[in-house]
Chains A and B, each alone.
Chain A
């Protein structure tokens, strides 16, 4: 079975502020076959908390009323924010049937303390993906885990699927344990991640700039940086660096597995295409 999801993680926060427009956008997505929306953040604990505090509850409700399920994506969180993030994850109003985690600590917490199905997010999957190299772009990618590890995650933490990037000629998911879903990010895929958020420092004096996990006002929202490369380009939004692959990789799946495409466009304009 092929499922269709849409990724609104790390999206300009203004997108979520007008409930009427949001409802229209979500209904439009549902109308074109999208079943599930991803919300939260892959890269930023500050963004995740702002999302949890300000609009996640209403978003989950509007999505549900629009016929869409919500997946909450949890980034890697520093110790200083971990208790707050865990408190939000336990709130009944923010319960979703699926959570995406991106580190082993959060995998343990969500897998043992919460009831939602857990997915291993894109930050777990570390194969090189680099469109500058044609040979690499023509490769087939395997699952970057041992079968034993995946089965243990399935048994110990209720892991229901893994996320990979839609890069390369094909994804050979033959090693995926029975019942697991392969989720593929497309057409923009993550290529890298800055170690700090450049945008968060915009208004700070030089000697205070570029520190990790500084409090911010989500200065990343509405801003993107385009880097021309020798053979291509990458777009940076917040800490995430993305590149584009037009063609879908062919996915070779074992029996009893599902495939889910997670569409992502870094600009909200992509929504209305």
Chain B
């Protein structure tokens, strides 16, 4: 099970590889895309965040070279929510350039990209934007030629195991650490970035209003308000799946993903080191109970860990 981490700067490769990263993913920016398709047609899911896409396409070959010298793989994201005919056509010259640069794979969001990516000799990874929520959807992507599928953050370890059992011919990747959103990745269609921030960010700035039927009693209203407070203010303010590593290994997950394309390498490296440490524990113990006893939780996060509200896979402990 590899540890996949985001990459922003060339110099971060050594820091992250030293910490235990086995794979990297990154985006790039191209002013020509904006000129061609306008401000609001994304090249990748985080196009509007400049910090997440610091490299140009010409830079990518240096990233690929360095990643390979560290015996790691490099994936590039082309996972915008959609691509029409014109966009798909335009992607072809990027794919040629990325293939020439030695990039190992492309993280795609639509079935139509898979054939294209394979044609250019790279691995096609179905992004979380592909919404593979069940085995039938996984089969569809397998049949389209996907080499790997990134599973949605909201799947339980049991649901993940079921998909892998039913469609074992592809690799799977699961989310493990750092920021998570309240919205389903693939169905959140507010602008992701921009001057007002993401929809989730904007939602968190003010209190929401709860409407219930007029005959609702005070106890029910208070219960809902409390529930809403926890949901809006506490739930997933941080995200972690360290307790699930033993299960994910057992499920046959090929890679676990640390997210945070806008965070510093030092912060990411901390998460990678913790994941590497816990992975070693999981590989040596004989049971989940033993793993949970010996594994390490993130530092200074006991309050989050104790409530279960920041767990990617809360079913492991709760």
Q: Which residues of A contact B (CB under 8 A)?
A: 76-80, 82, 103-109, 123, 125-130, 132-133, 135-136, 139, 142-149, 175, 190-196, 198-199, 201-203, 206-213, 222-231, 234, 236, 239, 241
Specify which of A107, A127, A196, A230 is in contact with B189 (CB 8 Å cutoff): A127
Specify which of A135, A192, A206 is in contact with B39 (CB 8 Å cutoff): A135
Q: Please tell me if the beta carbons of A193 and B187 are within 8 angstroms of each other in the complex.
A: yes
Q: Please tell me if the beta carbons of B189 and A126 are within 8 angstroms of each other in the complex.
A: yes
Q: Which residues of B have CB within 8 Å of A107? A: 140
Q: Is B182 an interface residue (CB 8 A)?
A: yes
The smallest C-beta distance from B137 to any residue of chain A, in angstroms, reads 4
A223 CA / B224 CA spacing, docked (Å): 10
Q: Please tell me if the beta carbons of B203 and A234 are within 8 angstroms of each other in the complex.
A: yes
Q: Which residues of A have CB within 8 Å of B152? A: 195
Q: C-beta contact mask, B293-305 vs A, less than 8 Å → 1, else 0?
A: 0000000000000
Q: Which residues of A have CB within 8 Å of B182? A: 194-195
A222 CA / B212 CA spacing, docked (Å): 6
Q: Which residues of B have CB within 8 Å of A77? A: 133-134
A67 CA / B210 CA spacing, docked (Å): 37
Q: Which B-chain residue is minimally distant from A193 (CB atoms)?
A: B187
Specify which of A104, A193, A229, A239 is in contact with B137 (CB 8 Å cutoff): A104
Interface size on B, residues (CB 8 A): 71
The smallest C-beta distance from A151 to any residue of chain B, in angstroms, reads 12
A177 CA / B82 CA spacing, docked (Å): 18
Q: Which residues of A have CB within 8 Å of B129? A: 126
Q: C-beta contact mask, B26-55 vs A, less than 8 Å → 1, else 0?
A: 000000000000111010000000000000
Q: Please tell me if the beta carbons of B40 and A135 are within 8 angstroms of each other in the complex.
A: yes
Q: Which residues of B contact A (CB under 8 A)?
A: 38-40, 42, 81-85, 88, 111-112, 129, 131, 133-141, 152-156, 159, 162-163, 166, 181-192, 194, 196, 199, 202-203, 205-206, 208-213, 223-224, 227-228, 230-231, 235-236, 307-309, 314-315, 318
Q: Please tell me if the beta carbons of A195 and B308 are within 8 angstroms of each other in the complex.
A: no
The smallest C-beta distance from A137 to any residue of chain B, in angstroms, reads 10
A106 CA / B211 CA spacing, docked (Å): 33
The smallest C-beta distance from B268 to any residue of chain A, in angstroms, reads 23
Q: Which residues of A have CB within 8 Å of B224? A: 199, 202, 223
Specify which of B134, B185, B190 is in contact with A105 (CB 8 Å cutoff): B134
12 more contacts with CB within 8 A, not counting A209-B308, A210-B230, A229-B206, are: A127-B82, A127-B189, A128-B81, A128-B191, A129-B190, A132-B191, A136-B40, A136-B191, A191-B190, A192-B184, A192-B199, A207-B307
A136 CA / B153 CA spacing, docked (Å): 29
Q: Please tell me if the beta carbons of B208 and A225 are within 8 angstroms of each other in the complex.
A: yes
Q: Please tell me if the beta carbons of B314 and A211 are within 8 angstroms of each other in the complex.
A: yes
Q: Please tell me if the beta carbons of B208 and A227 are within 8 angstroms of each other in the complex.
A: yes
Q: Which residues of A have CB within 8 Å of B82? A: 125-127, 144-145
Q: Please tell me if the beta carbons of B84 and A145 are within 8 angstroms of each other in the complex.
A: yes
Q: Which residues of B have CB within 8 Å of A209? A: 227, 230-231, 235, 308-309
Q: Please tell me if the beta carbons of A123 and B191 are within 8 angstroms of each other in the complex.
A: no
Given contacts A108-B140, A146-B84, A209-B235, contact A230 B134 (CB under 8 A): no
The smallest C-beta distance from B262 to any residue of chain A, in angstroms, reads 19
The smallest C-beta distance from A113 to any residue of chain B, in angstroms, reads 11
Specify which of A104, A127, A130, A212 is in contact with B154 (CB 8 Å cutoff): A212
Q: Please tell me if the beta carbons of B84 and A207 are within 8 angstroms of each other in the complex.
A: no
Q: Which A-chain residue is minimally distant from B191 (CB atoms)?
A: A130
Q: Which A-chain residue is minimally distant from B89 (CB atoms)?
A: A146
Could you give 14 example pairs across A and B, Cβ below 8 Å? A104-B137, A105-B137, A105-B139, A130-B199, A132-B194, A133-B196, A146-B85, A203-B223, A207-B314, A209-B230, A222-B212, A228-B208, A229-B203, A229-B205
A222 CA / B209 CA spacing, docked (Å): 14
Q: Please tell me if the beta carbons of B208 and A226 are within 8 angstroms of each other in the complex.
A: yes
